[in-house]
Chain A
Amino acid sequence: GDSVTQMEGPVTLSEEAFLTINCTYTATGYPSLFWYVQYPGEGLQLLLKATKADDKGSNKGFEATYRKETTSFHLEKGSVQVSDSAVYFCALSDGSSNTGKLIFGQGTTLQVKP
């Protein structure tokens, strides 16, 4: 079945460092890809998404490009802030079924130190 694999955390960075969180997926059909963020004590929020190959999603300085050839959707940010500390989830949605079901990776905790 479809699945998502993320790099294990926690990832600890200093403020203004470059961030990469790897995400790869396995899917049949043509999934849409998402990154969600969960701040401490809050629900998941959509950070960015891409719906087809070569699309780049971006928001709040974060970017991810849908790479069909490598089945990847790595999250990047050029300069992280302490406020970016959170758990990041990569997810896919099977566009062909229209069920709206999301399959999540295991989540990666990011800790940014001042």
Chain B
Amino acid sequence: GAVVSQHPSRVICKSGTSVKIECRSLDFQATTMFWYRQFPKQSLMLMATSNEGSKATYEQGVEKDKFLINHASLTLSTLTVTSAHPEDSSFYICSARDWASGGPYNEQFFGPGTRLTVL
């Protein structure tokens, strides 16, 4: 099946620094990638939708200047957490939508997630 990878799997950084998380679709082209945030024992919260070659669409309440998303190719999207603070510590998950299975029956393939800890 379709595989989505994320790198790094976990990262610890100091407050005020920026962290980049990569999401790659390994064996298919992803016209759309999604970025989620998951708090402990809570659901996934959609942060933004990333379409290849265009600006990301952010959900209400998500700061686009803080969470920079770039989807420069059909296999790579990046999320950069700028000037990270301890409250940004979370589990970040990406998913990618297979070009071939577009239409209303969307299936998203999920990455394994990245655990961000900001000290």
Task: Tell whether A pairs with B.
Answer: yes
CA distance A32 to B103 in the complex (A): 12
The residue from A43, A46, A101, A106 contacting B111, defined by CB atoms under 8 A apart: A43
The residue from A36, A46, A49, A101 contacting B34, defined by CB atoms under 8 A apart: A101
B interface, size bucket: 20 to 34
Distance (whole angstroms) from the CB of B10 to the closest CB of chain A: 11
CA distance A43 to B111 in the complex (A): 5
The number of chain A residues with a CB under 8 A from chain B is 23
Distance (whole angstroms) from the CB of B117 to the closest CB of chain A: 16
> Would you call A71 an interface residue if the criterion is a C-beta within 8 Å of the partner chain's C-beta atoms?
no
Known: A32-B104, A51-B105, A101-B34. A43 touches B44 (CB 8 A): no
> Would you call A89 an interface residue if the criterion is a C-beta within 8 Å of the partner chain's C-beta atoms?
yes
The residue from B93, B104, B112 contacting A51, defined by CB atoms under 8 A apart: B104
Q: Are B97 and A100 in contact, CB atoms less than 8 angstroms apart?
A: yes
CA distance A40 to B34 in the complex (A): 21
Residue numbers of B with Cβ under 8 A of A are: 4, 6, 32, 34, 41-44, 46, 49, 93, 95, 97, 103-108, 110-113
